[in-house]
Every structure is written in C-alpha cells, then in structure tokens.
Amino acid sequence: MKISKSSFIENYKKKVTIVPDLERVREAVYLAFDLTDQYGVIKINKAIAEAAIKFNIDEDILREKINDNDFILNERKQK
C-alpha cells in the first residue's frame, strides 16, 4: 500500500529554499537556539522546525549547520 504525502507537505517543500544564503542560515541557527532556551532542550525539534519555517530553510540544512562544529564555533566568535 502506497502512502501519499499530504498536499500541505508537498506545498511546504516547494516553498523551502534549497540553498539559502549564509546570512539566513546564521539567523535561523540563532533563532533555533533562542527558541530552545525558551522551550527547553527537550523541544529542540520544535525549535528547529519553527526557525526553518520562519527563514524558509530546509530543516535538514539547518540541522546540518547546527551540528557543524566549525560553523557554530565561528559564529560564536563573531557574535
């Protein structure tokens, strides 16, 4: 049995920026961390999802940057 995706998911994926500029990714990472501070670390997935939606960035790209030690270390130096 084939499970079809909802039209919402299909439309959302079409609107997501495939290769966002670094500044948008940087701002989304900051927002994800700020939301994690608000929600608590247990709701990090919710924080990442909200940041990805706000900045129109694919969640996988955002997660990749959050998990990239070099990116995070460089960002902390600049802030």
Asked if the structure places residue 14 within a domain, the reply is no
DSSP code for 56: T
Burial of 54 (C-beta count, 10 Å sphere; 0-12/13-18/19+): middle
Q: pTM surpassing 0.75?
A: no
Asked if 51 and 29 count as a contact pair (C-beta separation under 8 A), the reply is: yes
pLDDT above 80: residue 44: yes
3 located within any domain: no
pLDDT score, position 69: 73
Percent of the chain clearing pLDDT 90 (strictly above):
33
11 inside domain = no
Cβ atoms < 10 Å from Cβ of 72: 14
Q: How many domains does the chain have?
A: 1
Q: Which domain holds residue 24?
A: 19-78
Residue 6 lies in a domain: no
Q: Is residue 2 included in any domain, yes or no?
A: no
The answer to the question of residue 7 being in a domain is: no
In a domain, residue 9? The reply is: no
Partners of 57 in the β-ladder: 17
